[in-house]
């Protein structure tokens, strides 16, 4: 698979949120969007694995940016999306913070 190229000329003030992001389509989507300077909100249900994925993603985005990175703008949220209470708590907290949300990517599931 071809790696996405960083867009350094036109930073996009968007906040996409892949619904679960530590592997598979969610991770690839998060990385592609972060390289394009989007503010990405990663969601996963396992804190340890989520933090490891976040660290890997930041390192990979820095590498794709030629080692000169102002830091991938990526946030991690812990949420088991099979729990409606957990989803509501996450969405309520997001709305309270007042950040925009331009895209929601629902990729959680079993292949």
Interacting residue ranges for ligand NAP, rule: CB under 6 A: 20, 22-26, 44-46, 80-82, 107-111
d(CA 102, CA 110): 25
Angstrom CA distances, 72 to 7, 11, 25, stand at 12, 12, 18
Considering beta carbons, is residue 4 or 6 the nearer one to ligand NAP?
A: 4
CB of 86 to ligand NAP, least distance (A): 8
Q: Which is nearer to ligand NAP, 26 or 65 (CB)?
A: 26
Compare residues 62 and 81 and give the one whose CB is closer to ligand NAP: 81
Nearer to ligand NAP, 71 or 109 (CB): 109
Are 12 and 40 within 8 A, CB to CB?
Answer: no
Task: Give the single-character DSSP code of 5.
Answer: P
DSSP output for 39-80: -EEEEES-HHHHHHHHHHHHHHHHHHTTT--S---EEEEE--
What is the nearest approach in angstroms of ligand NAP to the Cβ of residue 103? 16
Q: How far is the CB of 82 from ligand NAP (least distance, A)?
A: 4
């Amino acid at each position: 698979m071809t790696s996405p190229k960083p867009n350094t000329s036109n930073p996009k003030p968007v906040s996409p949120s892949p619904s679960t992001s530590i592997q598979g389509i969610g991770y690839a989507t998060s990385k592609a969007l972060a390289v394009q300077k989007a503010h990405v909100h990663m969601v996963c249900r396992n804190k340890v694995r989520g933090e490891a994925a976040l660290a890997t993603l930041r390192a990979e985005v820095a590498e794709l940016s030629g080692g000169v990175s102002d830091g991938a703008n990526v946030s991690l949220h812990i949420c088991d999306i099979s729990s409606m209470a957990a989803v509501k708590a996450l969405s309520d907290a997001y709305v309270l913070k007042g950040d925009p949300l331009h895209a929601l990517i629902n990729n959680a599931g079993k292949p």
